[in-house]
Amino acid sequence: MRTVRVILVCSLAAGLAGCAADAFPWTKAALRGAIIAPEEAERMRLAAANKLTAELLDAKAGAKLPTTLALAKLYNQGGGFETGLSLIEAEEMTRWEQTVANHPKLAGIQPIPSLVLRPERDGPAVTLRSLREASARIGSELLVVYLQNDRTEEHTNAASALYWTVLGLWLAPGHELRAETTMQGIVVDCRTGKILGSAISKAREEKTCAAMAVDDQRRRITKEAESQARKDLHTRIGQVLSRVTAQPLAAAR
């Protein structure tokens, strides 16, 4: 009976605190405050996960149109799954503004400033929940979140054997360069957290050059791959926005 009381109190406290459903904090609180068999704890965790999944599948888009579009660009920290909010450059922002301009039910686009992000307790600052909350703070019903990953490779070929000569460093095409940019994006309903659509783009550029031209050529093909991937992502996200804004969402304001 004592164990049951502890579980109920912990569950109620977590519920009043407004904890995120996808983090299952009530389960963690119960595990800290009571002795529960591992199989029972696992059953509770799976039940909570199944409930959340069912709620997301049953959820209907609740965004009210017209609205502004919130925008967040993420980057990987340390090459792992931890992400942070990245600064969107002026040229890239202009392209997003042009993408949104084609949709009459979208009244503009605004990037999420890092100042309005509230970190989760004992967790990362950038989560889907924190981005939805930040979007609501700036008055946006829809949110676009995207991630960019750049990769470069460099190899030498048989022509590099001529590098020992003075002219070979400038003339022999002994280096093979490759630049690849992959981008992923999602459109999110800020009210329900439902993902309304997703898009992915990938671009690759290759170049063979001499040793003394490696740095310049690497920068050039990296920029070209990045530009092509961004252009493709904007087109694909634009198609998702067209489909989303054409559907009957919540009543207009």
Place of tokens 């406290």: 13
pLDDT digits (tens, 9 = 90+) for 185-227: 999 999 888 899 999 999 999 999 999 999 999 999 999 999 9
Q: Quote the CA–CA distance of 136 and 81 in Å, as a whole number.
A: 25
Confidence of residue 23 (pLDDT cuts 50, 70, 90): very low
Q: Under DSSP, is residue 157 helix (H, G, I), strand (E, B) or coil?
A: coil
- Rounded-to-5 percentages of helix, strand, coil across the chain: 45, 25, 25
Helices (H) and strands (E) in the chain, counts: 7, 6
Q: Quote the CA–CA distance of 135 and 113 in Å, as a whole number.
A: 10
Q: Under DSSP, is residue 123 helix (H, G, I), strand (E, B) or coil?
A: coil
Instruction: Enter the pTM of the model.
Output: 0.73
Helix pair angle (38-58, 25-33), 10° resolution:
160
Q: Quote the CA–CA distance of 88 and 111 in Å, as a whole number.
A: 8
Q: Quote the CA–CA distance of 70 and 75 in Å, as a whole number.
A: 17
CA angle centred on 98, ends 96 and 100, rounded to 5°: 70
Q: Which domains, and CATH codes, for the chain?
A: 2-58 (no CATH), 67-246 (3.30.160)
Residues 43/62, Cβ–Cβ less than 8 Å: no
Whether residue 24 is predicted with pLDDT greater than 50 in this model: the reply is no
Cα dihedral across residues 63, 89, 78, 118: positive or negative: negative
Residues 218/80, Cβ–Cβ less than 8 Å: no
Place of tokens 């609180």: 29
pLDDT digits (tens, 9 = 90+) for 132-174: 999 999 999 999 999 999 999 999 999 999 989 889 999 999 9
